[in-house]
Amino acid sequence: MKIEPGGAIKEPGSSIAYKTGGWRTFKPVIDAEKCISCWICVGFCPDAAIEKTEKGKPPIIDYDYCKGCGICANECPKNAIEMIFEEK
Amino acid sequence: MMRIVKGNEAAAIAAKLAKPDVVAAYPITPSTDFPEKIAEYVANGELPHTQFIPVESEHSAMSACIGASAAGARACTATSSQGLELMHEMLFIASGMRLPIVLYNANRALSAPINIWCDHQDSISARDTGWIQFYGENNQEALDLMLMSFRIAEDPRVLLPAMTCIDAFICTHTFEPVDIPSQEEVDAFLPPYKPTHVKLDPDEPMTLGPFGVPEYYQEMRYAQHLAMKNAEKVIDEVFVDFERRFGRKYSKVSPYMIEDAEIILITLGSVSGTTKEFIDKMRKGGKKIGMVKLTVLRPFPSKELIPLIKNARVVATLERNISLGYGGAIYADLAGILINEEKRPLLIDFILGLGGRDITFNDLEEIVKACEKLIEGERIERPVWIGVKKELV
C-alpha cells in the first residue's frame, strides 16, 4: 500500500494491511493431540487471530496477525499450546 | 506601488496579498505588528474571506494553523524567539503531516537572559523540524520571500511548511521603501490552495495523523526528505517565475565579489548589507574578500554553494547563533558538504552579533585578520568569539 504524503489514510479498514505478526518473539503452536476444540483460546485472543474450525480439530492461528502475547497458551485448559521461541 | 514600511508590515502585506483563509497568531515582540496588521485588514474588510484567530499561545497558534491547513485552508502565522520555541513540537507535526503552512519569524534571541533583539538562535534551533527556511536581508525580501513561500510550500511536489526569517528590529522595525505588487499580479502568481493529499472533508473522509509504526515511520521521514529535495528545484523555478513577473532576482545563494576572493564570508540576513559595504572598502585597500549570502538554509543549498566557495583560501561563517559546546551551526553545515571535496578551503566560524549586538566594520576587520592568520598557517581555536568582553566573565 502506497503511503500518501502526510500519511493520510483514505480507505477505511487499513489495519488489515498492517500485519502485526512481525512483533512476535514467541510463536504459539497447538498440539492437535491435546486440543479438545473447546475454543477458549479463540475467545481470549485479543487480536482475533485464532479461528474456530470443527469439533475434533484444533483451531487455526493466523500468524500474519498473532503478536505472540501467549494469552492463548496461558488459558488453554489442556496445556495444548506451546510458545516456541521464533528466530528470524 | 512603492511604500515606506517596516519589515513586519512588509511581511503582513505579503500575507494579505496571499489571501489566507486562516491566520492564527499570538503577538510577541518583535513580530507583533504582523498579527496586528492582519487583525486590522480583517476588521477593515480588506480580507473578507480570512478568519483571524487570536489564540492564547504560540503552541495554539501553530495547532490552529495545522487544523485549518488539514481542512484545506491556506494558513499563516507569525512569531519570534520564545514563541517559535513554544511552537517547536507543533512544527514537526506541520511538516510531518505535509501541511504547507507559512510562518513569518522575526529573528530574536532566546531567554535566559530575556532579550528581545536580533539573533538567529530561534530559527536555527528549528532547522531540523522539516520546514523550508528563508532568510531575508531587508524589508523588500521580507515581502517577496513571504509571497514566494506560499507558492513553494503549496507546490504538489513539495507540500512542506515554510518560514521566512527576518532580523529583529534591524528589519522588522526599520522603515524602508518596498515595492508592493498589485493584487492582480499576485493572484496570477499564486493560485488558490487546493489540496488533495490531506483534506478534512465529510464527503470524502480520511484519517489524518495516524500511528506511524516502525514499518512505515522511516518511509514517511524519507518522503519528507524527498520533498525537501524536490523543493530545491521548485524554489529555483519559483525564483525564476517571480523575477519574470516582478523584476526582482532571487537565488538560494548570492555571491558578491567572489571571483578572485581568497577570503569568503558567509552571511545570513541583514548583515549581508553591512558586509557588502565592508568588502567594497576592503577591496579599495587591495584585499581579496568576497561574500556569499544564504537566502535558503533548508533545503541546504549544497550544490550551488560548493562551486562558489571551494577555491577560496578561507571560508568564514558569520554566526548569529551558537550550538553551545560546538560552535556555529552554518559552519557545521558547510564543513559537512566540503569534507569530501578534493579541493577545499579552510573553514572557520565567528560568533558575533548575539542578542542584538551590532555587527560593525571593526568586527568584520577582526574577522578578516583572523582569516589572514589562518592563511599564514597559524592555528586558531574555533569558534572565534568576536567582540566579547572577556573581562566580564
pLDDT in tens, B173-188: 999 999 999 999 999 9
Nearest by CB to B197, from A5, A12, A14: name it: A5
Together in a domain, B311 and B387:
yes
Confidence of residue A15 (pLDDT cuts 50, 70, 90): confident
Tally the residues of chain A: 88
Question: Given this model, what pLDDT does residue A18 score?
Answer: 85
Which pLDDT tens digit goes with each residue over B284-299? 999 999 999 999 999 9
Condensed to tens digits (0 to 9), the pLDDT of residues B10-61 reads: 999 999 999 999 999 999 999 999 999 999 999 999 999 999 999 999 999 9
Residues B49, B120 within the same domain: yes
Identify whether residues B238 and B302 lie together within a single domain: no
Q: Determine the pLDDT at residue B210.
A: 87
**What per-residue confidence (pLDDT) applies to B211?**
87
Specify the 3-state DSSP secondary structure of A83: strand
Residues of A in Cβ contact (< 8 Å) with B67: none
Length of chain B measured in residues: 393
What's the whole-number mean pLDDT along residues B301-326? 97
The DSSP symbol for B124 reads H
**Could you tell me if B329 and B361 lie in one domain?**
yes
> pLDDT at residue A88 above 70?
no
Average pLDDT over residues B297-307: 97
Residue A42 near residue A80 (C-beta atoms within 8 A): no
Are B159 and A5 inside 8 Å of each other by CB?
yes
Indicate whether B238 and B265 sit together in one domain: no
Mean pLDDT (whole number) for B267-293: 98
CB B197 to CB A9 under 8 A?
no
Of residues B245 and A2, more confidently modeled: B245
Domain end marker among B222, B246, B270: B246
Boundary-marking domain end, from B215, B246, B277: B246
Minimum Cα–Cα distance from B208: chain A residue: A8
Domain final position from B202, B220, B246: B246
Strands (E), chain B: 2-5, 22-25, 51-54, 75-80, 102-107, 132-135, 162-167, 176-179, 253-256, 263-267, 289-294, 296-298, 314-319, 346-351, 384-385
- Contact check, Cβ <8 Å, B206/A10: yes
Instruction: Give, in words, the CATH class of A19-85.
Output: alpha beta
What pLDDT, on a 0 to 100 scale, did the predictor assign at position B215?
A: 84
Q: Residue A59: pLDDT above 80?
A: yes
- Written as one letter, the residue type at B132 is I
| A65 contact residues in B (CB cutoff 8 A) | none
Give 3-state DSSP helix, strand, coil % of chain B, rounded to 5: 40, 20, 40
**B280 and B235 within one domain:** no
pLDDT of residue A16: 87
- Is the preceding omega at residue B383 within 30 degrees of 0, hence cis? yes
* Per-residue pLDDT reduced to its tens digit, B60-91: 999 999 999 999 999 999 999 999 999 999 99
> In chain B, what residues touch A5 (CB-CB under 8 Å)?
98, 159, 197-198, 223, 227
Sheet with B75-80, strands from edge to edge, namely: B51-54, B22-25, B75-80, B102-107, B162-167, B132-135, B296-298
How many structural domains compose chain B? 2
Please report the ipTM that was assigned to this predicted complex: 0.80
The beta strand positions in B1-100, using DSSP E, are: 2-5, 22-25, 51-54, 75-80
- B181 and B315 belong to one structural domain: no
Contacts of A22 in chain B (CB under 8 A): 215
* Phi, then psi, of B144 in degrees rounded to 5: -65, -45
Q: Do B208 and A6 touch (CB under 8 A)?
A: yes
Q: Touching check for A6 and chain B: CB below 8 Å?
A: yes
Nearest CA in chain A to B227: A5
Is residue B103 domain-shared with residue B188, that is, in the same domain?
yes
* Residue A14 pLDDT > 90: no
The chain A residue lying nearest B201, using CA atoms, is A10
The mean pLDDT of B153-180, rounded to a whole number, is: 98
Confidence of residue A35 (pLDDT cuts 50, 70, 90): very high
- Residue-averaged pLDDT of chain B: 97
- Residue B99 to residue A6, Cβ atoms within 8 A: yes
Q: Count contacts between A and B (CB, < 8 Å).
A: 43
Tell me the average pLDDT across B271-296: 98
The verdict on pTM exceeding 0.90 is: yes
CB atoms under 10 Å from CB of B108, counted, come to 31
Q: Which three cell numbers stand for residue B292?
A: 556569499
Helix (H, G, I), strand (E, B) or coil at A29: strand
The closest alpha carbon to B145, from B80, B253, B239, belongs to: B239
Q: What is the pLDDT of residue A63?
A: 97
Q: Minimal Cα–Cα distance from A85 to chain B, Å?
A: 22
Contact B207 A6 (CB under 8 A): no
Nearest to B99 by CA among B70, B141, B128, B132: B70
Q: Please name the residues between 12 and 31 in chain A that touch chain B, using a CB distance below 8 Å.
A: 12, 14, 18, 22
How far apart (Å, rounded) are the C-alpha atoms in residues B249 and B244?
9
Confidence at residue B135, expressed as pLDDT on a 0 to 100 scale: 98
Q: Which of A6, A12, A18 sits opposite B98 (nearest CB)?
A: A6
Q: Are residues B206 and B266 in the same domain?
A: no
Q: Are residues B158 and B300 in the same domain?
A: no
Instruction: Give pairs for B341-346: CB < 8 Å, separation 24+.
Output: B341/B306, B341/B310, B343/B310, B343/B311, B344/B310, B345/B264, B345/B309, B345/B310, B345/B311, B345/B312, B345/B313, B345/B314, B345/B315, B346/B313, B346/B314, B346/B315, B346/B374, B346/B375
Structural domain span for residue B312: 253-392
Closest CA to B202 of B72, B63, B49: B72
| Residue B14: CATH number of its domain | 3.40.50.970
As a whole number, mean pLDDT of residues B149-161 equals 98
pLDDT of residue B230 exceeding 90, the answer is yes
Asked if residue B162 has pLDDT above 80, the reply is: yes
For residue B43, what is its C-alpha cell? 476588521
